[in-house]
Amino acid sequence: MGAGASDLAAPAEAAGSGLGDMPELCAGEVLLRLGAPDICRLARLNRAFRSAAGADFVWEAKLPENYGYLMGFVRGSAGEDVEGGGKRGAVGKKEVYARLAKAVRFDDGKREFWLEKSTGMVCMALSSKSLVITGIDDRRYWVHMPNTESRFQSVAYLQQIWWFEVVGEIDFRFPAGTYSLYFRLHLGKPSSSRHAGRRGCGSEKNAGSGIHGWDRKPVRFQLSTSDGQNAVSQRYLDDEPGSWALYHAGDFVVAPDTEEHGQGRPVRVKFSMAQIDCTHTKGGLCVDSVLVYPRGFRTERVVDAQR
């Protein structure tokens, strides 16, 4: 996506006068029509763009309407503050955008959100340790294993179980928009090493070992929201072992905030995946995380379930 969060936070470098010194307000009007990475690139063009690229009015237009609420998760963490009162004092909107474009962890490090740098939309990830997983405390069924390909450096691996169910909940103020919820899964036995190969959770040699039961019955995905939205789908877990995939559980819509003073509309999302036919066991599955992305945005292969 080009310029990253570090580019946003760094001062713009001096550059030539390519287009000459146009008025800063004119440069600002151009930048208002661009995404954050392109703003950072144009800041290197000349003095007018460099100055406009640091202006609050440019970056406030890129921030989600509830950025104050989002920064509430940052305040008090490592001495950070926004807009005065803390160790760093007041910071500009560019610095606010840069901070939110990095992962902001909460819930004892088991959840995080960040701004997708190009659009300023909110993304969220929930680790397997933030989910309610049937049998997770019994090592006959599940084990937590380290893995460098997880955002949280750990995955839950299912060895074998009769009743498979993973449940979670999100209670958050999302900016208005449509969001997709995914389970990040991997078929195959994970490596116990923190230096697992790039094929995913396990090596190519053991990727298919231990996988069983998923071809007997489909997994059922469900999603519901506090304002009455529902999605139900199902799919057999029959993809090629050895690589991660995002299994689409459903979409939900957050309406524009009309009464909450720019804090975003509160929404509670409940979700689950289950295969509870107890006539057979199933196993050989890595559960890494649950991801919430703006609809249409994705970073990995997506598996759409059948409605």
What the block records as the tokens of 211 is: 């996988």
> Residue 122 domain-assigned?
yes
pLDDT digits (tens, 9 = 90+) for 175-233: 999 999 999 999 997 665 444 444 445 444 445 568 999 999 999 999 999 999 999 99
- Are residues 47 and 129 located together in one domain of the fold? no
Whether 107 maps to a domain, the answer reads no
Mean confidence (pLDDT) of the chain:
82
Same domain for 127 and 95: no
Of residues 246 and 91, more confidently modeled: 246
Same domain, 58 and 121: no
Contact 121, 64 (CB under 8 A): yes
User: CB under 8 Å, gap of 24 or more: what pairs does 105-114 form?
Assistant: 106/73, 109/152, 110/152, 112/151, 113/70, 113/73, 113/172
Beta bridge partner(s), residue 123: 114
Q: State yes or no: pLDDT of 162 exceeds 50.
A: yes
Same structural domain, 179 and 214: yes
DSSP sequence for 127-192: EGGGSEETTTT-TTTEEEEE-TTSTTSEEEEE--BSSEEEEEEEEEEEPSEEEEEEEEEEESPPPS
**In the predicted model, what is the mean pLDDT of residues 99-119?**
93
Residues 272, 137 share a domain: yes
Residue 215 CB contacts under 8 Å (≥ 6 apart), including other chains: 236, 238
User: Of the residues 100, 135, 165, which one is the last residue of a structural domain?
Assistant: 100
Boundary-marking domain end, from 100, 124, 147: 100
Do residue 279 and residue 234 come from a single domain?
yes
99 pLDDT exceeds 50?
Answer: yes
Domain, as residue range, for 14: 5-100
Q: Which of 100, 132, 161 corresponds to the end of one domain?
A: 100
Residue 106 belongs to a domain: no
- C-alpha span between 115 and 236 (Å, rounded): 32
Residue 105 lies in a domain: no
133 and 13 in a single domain? The answer is no
Residues 224 and 116 in one domain: yes
212 with 300, same domain: the answer is yes
In a domain, 11, yes or no: yes
Does 91 share its domain with 171? no
Confidence of residue 100 (pLDDT cuts 50, 70, 90): very high
Task: Report yes or no on 40 lying in a domain.
Answer: yes
**Single-letter code of the amino acid located at 122:** V
176 plus 70 within the same structural domain: no
At 267, phi and psi to the nearest 5? -145, 135
CATH number of the domain at 230, please.
2.60.120.260
**Whole-model pTM?**
0.82
**Residue 119 and residue 95 share a domain:** no
What span, in angstroms and rounded, lies between the C-alpha atoms of 125 and 292? 6
Counting the structural domains of the chain, the total is 2
